[in-house]
Structure 1
Amino acid sequence: MGHPQLPTTESAVRAIREIADAYRLEMTVTDDIGADRTSRRTAAGAFAVLDPDGSLPHEAYVELGGSPAVSVQLFPEDDAKIIVDGVEFPDLPRASVPAFLRSVYGGTAWVKARSFPPGQWLIVPLPGDETYKELILRGALTPWLARGIR
């Protein structure tokens, strides 16, 4: 895809901060640095701080204020998990995070409702032909999600 590369967790946090500034959102960041601190590190041994290659893995958890409630977890493995008003998008490429957030805050994300089988999905289109879609659990339709139903 034509996303700019975000080679590090730091560069991804910087990109999210620019989006938060553009949409006037409060932002909090929690950093976990070292294999002993990151959530899914399996390559390093117990109590190891460095990965086997000598690098220091960096993971960040970002919360954005406002509506919708958005959190972004950036993993050292170049992927991320984004939660939008309770709807979880796991395993997103880290490079897709800025475009994903611009879609959510810029108004191009929407909710698809189907009567049979019944269900609602949050659809997040990105530039090009990339689209992410996740099921909204029953009873989890927030006011922000309800506004986007098509």
Structure 2
Amino acid sequence: MTHPHLPTTGATVTAIRKIAADHGLEMTVTHDIGADQTSCRASAGVFTIVDPDGSLPHEAFVELSGVPTVSVRVFPEDDAKITVDNVEFHDVPRDSVPAFLRSVYSGLAHTKGRLFPPGQWLIVPLPGDETYKELVAIAALTPWLSRSARIS
């Protein structure tokens, strides 16, 4: 399944805002605009605002209220980092952010563990065959992460 193309950081923030409204969540947004302000542009010179191609990079950091704790950092390079209860998912394509958040808030995201070798994973399925999973430190299991743990 293809995702709707979110061409800009602003479009992604708008999509996140709709999801927050649908789930009754408060959200705060911080915008960083300019090559000297965005996190992936550490090499930009002082007072350098635009990229070499003349574009104005825009990055946003979104925090959503409620359980689980969720934040999204949307990068100008068409990807995002989504953190769910301190579990970080790096390099999520910007177009996948809305589906990822819908999976989390609709209850499709779950944890799965193994006794040997021991490990707990947060699994976030998206429509189609796209699935994200990240290892969860056992000491970092929150009540939300523990609620749907499945041992295999």
Residue 29 in structure 1 maps to residue 29 in structure 2: yes
- Between the two proteins, the alignment pairs up a number of residues equal to 150
- Aligned counterpart, 1:102: 102
- Give 1:79's aligned amino acid: D
Q: Residues of 1 paired with 2:89 and 2:7: CA distance? A: 21
- Aligned counterpart, 2:40: 40
1:129-144 matches, within 5 Å, as 129-144=129-144
Q: Residues of 2 paired with 1:4 and 1:54: CA distance? A: 26
1:1-150 matches, within 5 Å, as 1-41=1-41, 44-150=44-150
Kept in 1: contact 2:36–2:42 (CA 8 A): no
How far off is 1:46 after superposition? 3.7
Moved over 3 A (4+): 42-46
Q: Residues of 2 paired with 1:115 and 1:51: CA distance? A: 49
Structure 1 gaps, min length 5:
none
Return the TM-score normalized by structure 1.
0.97
Kept in 1: contact 2:3–2:95 (CA 8 A): yes
Q: Residues of 1 paired with 2:45 and 2:52: CA distance? A: 9
Structure 2 gaps, min length 5:
none
Superposition RMSD on alpha carbons, in Å?
1.1
